Structure 1
Amino acid sequence: MTARKPGAPMPNTLRALIHSTATHPARQVACPHCRALPGKPCVLRTTGRLLPEPHPKRVSAWAQQTAVCPECQVERTTPCHDHGRPLRYVHDRRTTEAKETAA
């Protein structure tokens, strides 16, 4: 059995084209997980590989800035809470609301 040679790496120009055509609206804010700047894709901290989708923390930060939460009734920029305890992420309904307003 022979070892298979790995394929050629994707050129950066093609990679940039792929990421620029399919941008997620959460890229409007900086990523609190990998520190990617607004407008730039998220990256893996260990390898530096660009991710096609933003980190969940970035989506949560974007939803918090964009939409009012229909579940806990907090205003924009206010973190979601559960009976007074702040949550690490926003409610799913808030993310859905943010996606609907962005469309």
Structure 2
Amino acid sequence: MVETGGFSAAARALGVRKATVSRGVAQLESELDVRLLHRTTRKVTLTALGATFHREAERGFAHLQSAEEFVRAARAEPEGRLRVSAPIYLGTHHLMDWIGRSWHSTRR
């Protein structure tokens, strides 16, 4: 709602009805027992507490996004045991040296 400048634009951006956005804001204000928005027939603006709430909520969402990105990146790295099947010649003359070097470099 803050980024879009009004309930109608927020509803369009979210793909919901304006009444849904309005009820959501009213419910939040009721739960917090504070007015977050100044409403007039021409515009909607944040109260001082509304601006603080919005800023802190954005920080919280940024932390959640960062945590999600961290977990996704960590899961992108292979982990666990790797089994390789190769002809004996390839295994003894090429893979064993490479595996040994790779294993030792990760143990330092």
* TM-score calculated relative to the size of structure 2: 0.22
Report which of the two has the higher share of helix: 2
- Larger Rg computed on CA atoms: 2
TM-score by structure 1 length?
0.23
Q: Quick one: higher RCO (CA 8 Å, sep 6+), 1 or 2? A: 1
